[in-house]
């Protein structure tokens, strides 16, 4: 369906619908082409009405704050849905925390600590709750799956559905969210803790992160998963002896560059936009690192950064 026809088919939409919206400034890496359409719903009912009217053949990509994303230079066909202020509330009831999908992970961790609830592992995870659930985000041995109760999603027909951990089938850095579904809120069960102690722990975590990761550079967090069998899943039979940064170093790729892209000198599993990089530079360097690591160690690294959209035609 042509974009003009698609726009004509969508009526009574209260949110913002933008044709050809550049996505580079909405991602942490600051690269990528435009979305065919970007929809920013006014509220839940607006999102439901939009999806009810959207033809099934039109692809949908829910986008958070772009913290773990490379949008390719040719842009993204279909509709990108980006949730805003109507989806960032945080509520507490007993030992549960319910957060909107657009709420920032760090903000949820801080507010939970204020309420004496321990979601401190979220403090250093870049991004928003929707992405954290989708990717089963985690650090310091804790994962979303460990505290997850349920989530509310809007399906492609506009209907609401509550999903459980069994529905999502959480695995390392992934979940089985239905295709085209937009996650709008999630509920977590948290252990109790003294607010002062929880905040102190998060302060220590931030200091540790900033001392070992290039947090002031344009990156999208860890580029590759730790090698299979060494994935920090927290399971008793898993070990953490081998890290992605170690096999990258062993292949001589710390500080490697391609165009404006670079593997960070500070932490070699961080792909950064060192200045003027294109999405092709970043993805190309990542693929070069994967090949060099394989040639050196026989290990194929798996991308942790999500890559979407079309490359520019040669």
Tell me the CA distances in angstroms from 11 to 3, 35, 46, one per residue in order. 14, 20, 11
> What's the pLDDT score for residue 235?
53
d(CA 221, CA 214): 9
Residues 119-159 pLDDT 10s: 999 999 989 999 999 989 888 788 999 999 999 999 999 99
Our answer to whether residue 304 is catalytic in this structure is: yes
d(CA 218, CA 200): 27
pTM over 0.75: yes
The residues, any chain, with a CB within 8 Å of residue 191's CB and separated by 6 or more, are: 95, 117, 118
289 contacts 301 by C-beta, under 8 angstroms: yes
Of the candidates 222, 231, 264, 268, the residue annotated as catalytic is: 222
> What's the pLDDT score for residue 234?
47
pLDDT greater at residue 300 or residue 11: 300
Our answer to whether residue 173 is catalytic in this structure is: yes
d(CA 278, CA 168): 34
107 contacts 124 by C-beta, under 8 angstroms: no
Residues 87-128 pLDDT 10s: 999 999 999 999 999 999 999 999 999 999 999 999 999 899
| 79: number of Cβ within 10 Å | 22
Burial class (CB in 10 A: 0-12, 13-18, 19+), 211: exposed
Q: Which residue reads 């929880």 in tokens?
A: 198
Q: Can you say how many angstroms the Cα of residue 19 is from the centroid of all Cα atoms in its chain?
A: 24
Of the candidates 21, 110, 173, 254, the residue annotated as catalytic is: 173
The percent of residues in the chain predicted with pLDDT above 70, rounded, is 95
- How many residues belong to the chain? 314
Of the candidates 36, 175, 254, 304, the residue annotated as catalytic is: 304
């Amino acid at each position: 369906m042509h974009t003009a026809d698609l726009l004509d088919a969508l009526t009574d939409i209260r949110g913002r619908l933008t044709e050809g919206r550049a996505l580079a400034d909405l991602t942490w890496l600051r690269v990528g082409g435009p979305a065919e359409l970007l929809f920013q719903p006014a509220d839940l009912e607006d999102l439901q009405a939009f999806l009810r009217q959207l033809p099934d053949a039109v692809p949908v990509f829910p986008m958070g704050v772009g913290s773990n994303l490379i949008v390719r230079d040719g842009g993204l066909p279909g509709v990108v849905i980006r949730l805003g202020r109507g989806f960032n509330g945080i509520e507490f009831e007993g030992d549960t925390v319910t957060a909107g999908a657009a709420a920032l992970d760090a903000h949820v961790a801080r507010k939970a600590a204020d309420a004496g609830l321990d979601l401190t592992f979220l403090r250093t995870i870049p991004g928003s709750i929707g992405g954290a659930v989708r990717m089963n985000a985690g650090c310091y041995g804790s994962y979303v799956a460990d505290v997850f109760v349920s989530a509310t999603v809007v399906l492609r027909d506009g209907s609401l559905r509550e999903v459980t951990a069994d529905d999502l089938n959480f695995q390392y850095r992934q979940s089985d969210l239905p295709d085209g579904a937009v996650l709008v809120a999630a509920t977590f069960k948290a252990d109790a803790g003294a607010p002062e102690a929880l905040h102190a722990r998060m302060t220590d975590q931030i200091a540790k992160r900033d001392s070992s990761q290039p947090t002031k550079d344009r990156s999208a967090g860890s580029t590759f998963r730790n090698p299979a069998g060494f994935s920090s899943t927290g399971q008793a039979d898993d070990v953490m002896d081998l890290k992605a940064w170690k096999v990258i170093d062993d292949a001589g790729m710390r500080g490697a560059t391609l165009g404006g892209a670079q593997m960070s000198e500070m932490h070699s599993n961080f792909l950064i936009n060192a200045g003027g990089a294109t999405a092709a530079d970043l993805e190309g360097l990542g693929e070069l690192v994967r090949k060099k690591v394989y040639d050196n160690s026989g290990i194929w690294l798996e991308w942790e950064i999500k890559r979407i959209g079309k490359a520019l035609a040669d």
